[in-house]
Amino acid sequence: MTRARARVGVVGSVNVDLVVRCEALPRPGETVLAGDVHRFPGGKAGNQATALARLGLDAALIARVGDDDLGQWLVDLLAANDVDTGVMQHGTGATGTAFIAVDAAGENQIIVSRGANADLDVSSVDLAGFDAVLAQMEVAADVIDEVALRARALVLNVAPARPVDPATLARCAVVIANELEAERLDLATLAHCVVTLGSRGAVHFAHGREVARVTAPAVTVVDTVGAGDVFCAAYTSQFVAGADATTALAFAVTAGSMATQALGAQGFLPTTEEVTSWLARASS
């Protein structure tokens, strides 16, 4: 009998990304010239749900868009990418928008207008119906607290960095943070915490003790926007599959690195086969 695909709920933000490329990112008070404006689908939850679907999982996005044309554009794109949009919410007002500048080295600065994301309500969503829920911090804190109470297993990406109720963190199956975000955490109190190190890879801690570390493959970086979201999706795909810490990290680090090779948060979303093939070549 063929095993059913793992079902993952993704709770968080969905945005329209307006991206410009410039030679160098502006300093405070500085104006720089840039190229044309490009429009991409984005928002951490939207990115992660699309990446999960691309990896072959059954991904349902629990997010909120406005009643504008951009909101419908996002929903249509998500559906076209095999994301389950049946539990998405439609509110009044504007859809969330991110303004992104990317420099010649692929580094970025991002300003987010939350829009409809600020009104997301998960009270009527059957969170326990998912094998796992992946969430981030671009929605209200009480939404994350409720998800932690009701989800069967929560993988929480604590981005962007802001205070999180210690009780919520204690309920997480896994917390994912970058180095700056990890500075706010007491790793010893977390069952599992994965800390991403950018081009240096990632490390997995269990109750503050390092249990796995993986370096990142060398790639030609075009744009780092969304690479962390691909990492989170790839890690979650391995988590629900029951992979060990080293296997999950290697898969997620490789997927995240591959995602930096195209412009836009969803410019290149690798499949499971593509990631597995890369890992096979690297080990041969």
- Our answer to whether residue 229 is catalytic in this structure is yes
Say how far apart CA 17 and CA 265 lie, in whole Å.
8
What is the three-class DSSP state of 193? strand
91 neighbors 40 (Cβ within 8 angstroms): no
195 neighbors 206 (Cβ within 8 angstroms): no
Please tell me whether the peptide bond between 26 and the residue prior to it is cis, using omega within 30 degrees of 0. no
Alpha-helix residue ranges (DSSP H) falling in 112-244: 141-150, 166-171, 179-182, 227-240
Of 67, 76, 229, 244, the catalytic one is: 229
What is the three-class DSSP state of 252? helix
CB atoms within 10 A of CB 38: 15
Q: Beta 96-102 vs 108-113: how paired, if at all?
A: antiparallel
Q: Show the tokens assigned to 273.
A: 């086969």
Say how far apart CA 160 and CA 163 lie, in whole Å.
10
Residues acting as catalytic residues: 229
